[in-house]
């Protein structure tokens, strides 16, 4: 067992001031695409107010329609590798993934925006999605982001934020008045934005750490259920991004750097589970857990292959957060069922559309290249 501290949990929450409103106005559209689309499901919103179809329609309205691509996190690249479990997770969960041994993984790195050909310099959130595939036929899918918390607590808030951060055609930027009105109605978003905008920003995908944001429950062989969040913590040394890093003519500089790094050898992340205690919020992804919570290092994710999105790889995987093996269960966070429903709608739409080659292409793709 090791004590890894989630970077997000070390930040102090400062009193909300008007500078936060300026920050939200500047990056509202980016934060609105932090994770994949959320929508009504399971009865936590009144029927007729919001559906997964309306949510996806809103993303298409904001970002445009790009047939064949995800409606959010549209620009990405596929990777594969494996997870070596050290067995430490076995005391928390009976999932076979946490038994000592190796499990294949399929993954995807992406930038959190709904435009598949956007320049990397215009993005501020990066994501890593993984599908763990043990030999018993079960599967665990998880989508993680390099931010410490999410910006809203439920699907309606997400939808309202998305509309508030929509660019004004006259300026190409969000309307500050609409953003302010949203923030005034959602103080939890203002607090979350302080953590999101203050987080350390790495130079690329390889040295970033990614967080589940939502809480889940691990169930062990004795039936004990434990609230958890998890992170993939980069083994690659953290290097902060400089202000001028994105000032490049290479619109794919983040992905090109990842391709070049993998050409030199595999990349690794430690899978770290944060154990919640009574009173820790499991239904509110805007609130971090205390920094002193137990952190259990359960193994290492190794990525050793990268390829452009195409048939039969990560392009065709719906990273539904509710695809869980026996031993991992959803918490009471309403965003989980919302994400699942909206992911399904997005997947169904793009599955029936003609595919366009991804912006990110890998020359001489192969093992370790």
Residues 6 or more apart in contact with residue 145 via CB below 8 angstroms = 34, 35, 112, 125, 126, 127, 128, 210, 211, 213
Q: Which of 163, 183, 176 is nearest to 58 (CA)?
A: 163
**Whether the Cβ atoms of residue 148 and residue 193 lie closer than 8 Å to each other:** no
Token readout for 364 is 């001489």
- Other Cβ atoms less than 10 A from the Cβ of 61: the count is 12
Give one DSSP letter per residue of 7-19, joined into a string: GGGG---PPP-HH
d(CA 288, CA 336): 17
**For the purposes of burial, counting CB atoms within 10 Å of the CB of 357, is it exposed (0-12), middle (13-18) or buried (19 or more)?**
exposed
Q: Which two tokens stand for residue 264?
A: 């030199």
Q: Which residue has the tokens 């857990």?
A: 289
Catalytic machinery residues: 73
CA distance to 10, 45, 229, per residue, from 298 (Å): 22, 36, 13
Give the closest residue to 37 by CA, choosing from 12, 17, 18, 57: 57
Cα distances (angstroms) measured from residue 191 to each of 14, 102, 196, 343, 362: 8, 40, 9, 27, 40
d(CA 142, CA 324): 9
- Nearest 5°: phi and psi at 242? -85, 155
- Residue 98: closest CA among 294, 227, 272, 216: 272
How far is residue 67's CA from residue 64's CA, in Å, rounded to a whole number?
10
Beta strands 140-145 and 328-330 are unpaired
The pair of structure tokens assigned to 228 is 């958890």
Neighbours of 302 (CB within 10 A): 17
């Amino acid at each position: 067992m090791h004590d890894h501290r989630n970077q997000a949990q070390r930040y102090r929450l400062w009193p909300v001031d008007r500078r936060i409103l300026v920050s939200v106005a500047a990056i509202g559209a980016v934060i609105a695409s932090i994770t994949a689309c959320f929508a009504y499901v399971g009865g936590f919103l009144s029927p007729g107010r919001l559906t997964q179809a309306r949510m996806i329609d809103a993303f298409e309205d904001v970002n445009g329609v790009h047939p064949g691509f995800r409606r959010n996190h549209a620009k990405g690249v596929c990777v594969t590798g494996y997870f070596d479990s050290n067995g430490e997770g076995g005391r928390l969960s009976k999932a076979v993934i946490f038994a000592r041994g190796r499990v294949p993984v399929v993954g995807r790195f992406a930038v959190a925006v709904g435009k598949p050909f956007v320049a990397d310099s215009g993005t501020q959130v990066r994501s890593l999605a993984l599908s763990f595939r043990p030999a018993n036929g079960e599967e665990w899918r998880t989508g993680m982001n390099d931010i410490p918390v999410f910006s809203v607590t439920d699907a309606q808030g997400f939808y309202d934020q998305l509309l508030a951060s929509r660019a004004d055609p006259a300026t190409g930027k969000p309307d500050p008045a609409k953003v302010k009105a949203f923030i005034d109605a959602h103080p939890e978003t203002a607090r979350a934005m302080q953590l999101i905008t203050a987080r350390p920003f790495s130079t690329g995908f390889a040295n970033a750490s990614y967080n589940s944001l939502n809480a889940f429950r691990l169930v062990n062989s004795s039936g004990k259920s434990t609230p958890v969040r998890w992170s993939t913590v980069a083994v690659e040394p953290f290097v902060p991004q400089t202000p001028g890093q994105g000032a490049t003519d290479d619109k794919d500089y983040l992905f090109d750097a990842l391709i070049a790094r993998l050409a030199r050898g595999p990349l690794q992340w430690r899978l770290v589970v944060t154990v919640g205690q009574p009173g820790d919020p499991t239904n509110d992804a805007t609130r971090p857990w205390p920094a002193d919570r137990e952190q259990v290092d359960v193994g290492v994710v190794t990525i050793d292959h990268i390829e452009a999105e195409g048939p039969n790889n990560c392009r065709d995987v719906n990273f539904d957060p509710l695809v869980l093996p026996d031993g991992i269960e959803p918490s009471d966070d309403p965003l989980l069922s919302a994400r699942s429903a909206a992911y399904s709608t997005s997947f169904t739409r793009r599955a029936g559309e003609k595919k366009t080659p991804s912006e990110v292409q890998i020359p001489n793709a192969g093992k370790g290249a």
